[in-house]
Amino acid sequence: MDKIYLNEMEFYGYHGVLPEETKLGQRFRVNVIAETDFREAGIKDDLNLTVSYADIYMLCKEIVEGKPYKLIEAVAERIASGILETFVKIESVTVKVIKPDPPIPGHYQSVAVEITRIRS
């Protein structure tokens, strides 16, 4: 299966369990790997035979910058299900949601969740 990658998309959202997260908001980064067969699109050089990266980006943006969720697990689920519902050519999707600056004391680069969902 061929793969489409959207790496390190950055958005501002209001997800979290702590009051300051839902009030002040914070940055989120999202990575998406979408699996599909785009051989024919590559041969014919035709966007209609694959999936628009811009459309995937906009779907991610709407979810992350939209309704707040307590868990980044819920954000990842909404993105994965939205991609599979919207883009019928995509057979499976892996979504990683990264919180670079969570309000957790300590030294670390970020926290993240990653899920993979397959079209049933």
Phi, psi of 47, deg, nearest 5? -60, -30
Give residue 6's identity as a one-letter amino acid code: L
Catalytic residue check, 23: no
Q: How far apart are CA 75 and CA 64, in angstroms?
A: 7
Contacts of 16 (CB under 8 A, 6+ apart): 22, 26, 68, 70, 102, 103
The position carrying tokens 């699996």 is 35
Q: Crossing angle, helix 72-86 and helix 53-64, to 10 degrees?
A: 140
Residues noted as catalytic = 99
